Structure 1
C-alpha cells in the first residue's frame, strides 16, 4: 500500500505533466489559424483560436456583382464555418489533456463537457438544413435605400 507521501508525489508529478501539456497546447493555439473559402469561392476568411477574424479576402472580383445582402450572407456563413473548424481544432488539442486527468467524482467543475462548450459536430443533414435556412434568410434581407 502506498503511503500518503508517495501518493502526493505522484499527484504532484501528474499536475506538473498536465500543466506542461496545457502550456504547450496554449502555445500551439496562440499561433493557430484556420482558413476557409466560401462554396462559391468568392470569399476566404481566416480565424484565430478564439474565433477572431484574422483575414478577409475577396477573390476574382465576383463579389462586385453580388447584392450587398448576398455578399454579407456569404461572408457570415464562411466566418461561421471557419469558427466551427477552429472550435473542433481547439477541442482536439485539449481533449487528450482532459482525458489524461483522473476523474474526480463529486468535485464540481472537474469534468469538461466539450459538447456543451463548443456544440456537437452536426451531421450532414443538419448542415444542409442550416444552409437552406441561411439561403432563405439571404432572400428575405431587404436593403435600406441609399441615403443621399
Structure 2
C-alpha cells in the first residue's frame, strides 16, 4: 500500500469532496439569490408601489400620487394590506421557481422529509398564502370535475 492509496487520497474520496464543494457553492449562491430576491407591485390605480424582500419584509412604499390624502383610513389600510399581500405572494412565487430549478432538490427532499416528499407538496403552504389562491383552486377543481363528467 502506497501513500497515495490511503482513504483521503483515493479518487473516490477526491471526487466526493469535489461534488460536496460544488454542492456547497451552489447552496451558497442560492442563499445569496434568496436574500437578494425582491418583488414590486403597483396598485391598480397607480397610487402606490410596494417592494418587499425575500422574508416578506417591506423594503419600500412609494406613493406616486396624493390620492391617499383623501382616502378614509380604513380604505387606505385595506389598499396597502392588499398591495403588500400581493407583493409577498409574488416574492414567494419567485422563491418557489428558484427552488424548483435547483438540481437535486427532489432527492434531498426524499432524504430530509419523513416519508419522502414531492417538492410541489412541500411548497404548497407557501403557495396557499397567495391572495386569491383559494378561489383559483376552487375554479381548477370545478374545471377538473367538469372535464371528468364530460368524459
Q: What TM-score, normalized to structure 1?
A: 0.66
Query: How many residues are paired up?
Result: 124
2:107 aligned counterpart, secondary structure: coil
The structure whose Rg is larger is 2
1:103 aligned counterpart, secondary structure: helix
1:60 aligned counterpart, secondary structure: coil
Among 108, 126, 130, the residue aligned to 2:135: 126
Structure 2 unpaired stretches of 5+: 1-9, 139-151
Mark the CA change 1:51 to 1:66 in structure 2 (over 3 Å): closer, same or farther: same
Structure 1 unpaired stretches of 5+: 130-148
1:12 Cα shift? Answer: 4.0
Q: Does 1:28 align with 2:36?
A: no
Among 80, 89, 94, the residue aligned to 2:85: 80
Equivalent residue number for residue 68 of structure 2: 63
1:73 Cα shift? Answer: 0.5
- Is the Cα contact below 8 Å between 1:22 and 1:94 reproduced in 2? no
1:101 Cα shift? Answer: 4.3
Moved over 6 A (4+): 121-125
- Is the Cα contact below 8 Å between 1:43 and 1:74 reproduced in 2? no
Equivalent residue number for residue 4 of structure 2: none
1:16 Cα shift? Answer: 2.6
1:40 aligned counterpart, secondary structure: coil
Equivalent residues in 2 for 1:2-13, closer than 5 Å: 10-13=15-18
Q: Does 1:100 align with 2:104?
A: yes
- Is the Cα contact below 8 Å between 1:47 and 1:83 reproduced in 2? yes
Q: What TM-score, normalized to structure 2?
A: 0.64
